[in-house]
C-alpha cells in the first residue's frame, strides 16, 4: 500500500523541470546576467526595464523590473555593479528587448562623503 502511494506521488522529469523554472522566478529573487538576457528577449513576456540603484562607494547596482517586481542582477555570484552610467549603458545596450528607458532610483541615496 505504501509503495503504491509513493509511485502515485512521483513526478515526471517534465514536471520537475517546470517546477524548477517556476521556483527561479519567485518575486524579488535575484536573476543572473544570463537570465536577464534570456528574459528580456523572450517573445510574449512583459517588458523588462533596467533599474540602477546608486551607492556612493560601490557604484550603481543593477536591478531588473518586470511587471512591478524588481530583481537584483548577479554574475558569478556577485551583484552586478557599474562605476559610471556610461559603463551601465555600454553593458545594457547589448541586452536585446530591454525597455529603452533606464531608471536611476535615488530613493535611498545618501552621499558617503561631503562635497569635493
Q: Per-residue confidence of the chain (116 residues) as pLDDT tens digits? A: 555 555 555 656 555 444 444 344 567 899 999 999 999 999 988 999 999 999 988 999 999 999 999 999 999 999 999 999 999 999 999 999 999 999 999 988 887 776 65
Length of the chain: 116
Nine-digit cell string for 24? 527561479
- Taking alpha carbons only, the member of 61, 64, 48 closest to residue 99 is 48
This prediction has a pTM of 0.72
| DSSP β-bridge partners for residue 75 | 78
Q: What's residue 112's pLDDT? A: 75
Q: For residue 110, what pLDDT is reported?
A: 80
d(CA 32, CA 14): 23
Reading phi first (left if > 0) and then psi (alpha if -120 to 50, else beta), residue 97 is in left
The pLDDT, as a whole number, for residue 115 is 62
Structure-block grid coordinates of residue 52: 540602477
pLDDT for res 2: 56
Domain boundaries, the chain: 2-104
Amino acid at each position: 500500500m505504501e509503495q503504491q502511494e509513493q509511485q502515485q506521488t512521483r513526478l515526471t522529469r517534465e514536471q520537475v523541470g517546470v517546477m524548477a523554472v517556476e521556483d527561479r522566478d519567485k518575486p524579488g529573487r535575484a536573476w543572473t546576467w544570463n537570465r536577464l538576457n534570456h528574459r528580456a528577449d523572450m517573445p510574449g513576456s512583459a517588458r523588462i526595464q533596467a533599474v540602477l540603484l546608486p551607492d556612493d562607494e560601490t557604484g550603481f547596482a543593477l536591478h531588473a523590473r518586470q511587471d512591478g517586481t524588481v530583481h537584483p542582477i548577479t554574475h558569478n555570484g556577485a551583484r552586478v555593479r557599474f562605476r559610471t552610467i556610461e559603463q551601465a549603458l555600454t553593458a545594457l545596450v547589448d541586452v536585446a528587448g530591454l525597455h529603452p528607458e533606464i531608471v536611476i532610483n535615488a530613493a535611498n541615496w545618501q552621499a558617503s562623503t561631503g562635497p569635493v
